Structure 1
Amino acid sequence: MHRAYQPITPANNKLLKKRWDQSRFDIHRKKVVQARPVIDNIPPETYMHLHLKLKKLQMEEERLATVERDNRILMEKMSYIMRTKGRVDNWNSYEQKSLNKTKRQRELLRVTHENQAILKRISSKEPHYNHYVWEDAWRVNQGYMANISKYPQDWGYTKNSLRYSSQPQSHPSNKVPRRVRETSPGKPKHEDR
């Protein structure tokens, strides 16, 4: 193994040269490990009396104790006032009055009368469209659709559905409204089929 060593400086014996170089390198590494820094980078010493400040803590506790005492006294006074209504005997029973109260009442009454008149006009107004005529037209259209349709109206029901159940079910489209018979131009009458 020593024959593979290539020293930097020339030597007669490579084995001895390798040992000397290794011992020199070990001494160098030991010095590097034991070297002390030139710059002082350790933190400065801390003194507890500069950070803790016991006098400040004591003053803060005294201040909090004073505040707590004052709050307790105020709470006792307030609870006494709530229990006994205080020691005041000149209660003023004045109710706030509005200068525009009568005007607002008149305005509200006027608006109410106008709304009632509008409601009466709307409820007494006859409609422009006759929904009985619309129902007759719908019934006629349903008949036309039944005549021209390729499949019956209940063709989509299966054996498990309403079509093959034990009780007869009415299909929603089979419900036909009552017929209307016109007796006078203003008032239609219903006629059961």
Structure 2
Amino acid sequence: MHRSYQPILPCGNKYLQQKWDKATYEEHKRKIQISKPVVDTSTPQTYGHLHLKLRKLKLEKDRLSIIERENRLLLEKMSRIMRTKGRIDNKNEYEPKSLNRERREREFRKVSQENHAILERIMNCKPQYTVQKWNEEWQKAENYMNSIARYPRGLCKLQDQKELKLKKTTSERDRKKKRDLKDRCVTNKAEEPEEEELIHQIKNQVMITKEKIQ
């Protein structure tokens, strides 16, 4: 019973219902296979002029032809130079020209003349201050300061000079003393071995005399 066809809806004859259901299912499958999509999901159409750019190829071909032509001309020139040992005119007879040269020269002359005139005025200008007058005024000022001062001017300088002289003399004395001490030490060191030799000789003589007495 369980192996027999079981329809979804109640029916009078299961065999006929199975046949009808199968026919509807086959019709449904056929419609699905025949049906077309509402939205076009296929790949877009490819155009040849977008992939194969003829203008670009033509420009590249023209560029290569120009390069080949230049290379050929260069090769011909090099071969001609090699055959004829190269006769090239490298002289340049072009003279540099300037549109505002005359104006610049006029300005330069004008500036140089003005500078020369300023220099002459400076050289011919007489000084307003005289050195002799300054010296006379300074002597007057010194006389005024000497007359106003309580003590004679220049004592501090004299004292400083005396102190410097004393320092120099004391330093020279100390140096002389140090030199004398060094000389004495050197002489004492030189005399010590002589004294030792004398003592040794005396001892030898004493020993010799003792032996003779015995």
Relative to the length of structure 1, the TM-score reads 0.39
Q: TM-score, normalised by structure 2?
A: 0.36
Structure having greater relative contact order (Cα 8 Å, sep ≥ 6): 1
The structure whose Rg is larger is: 2
Higher strand share goes to which structure? 1
Bigger helix fraction: 2
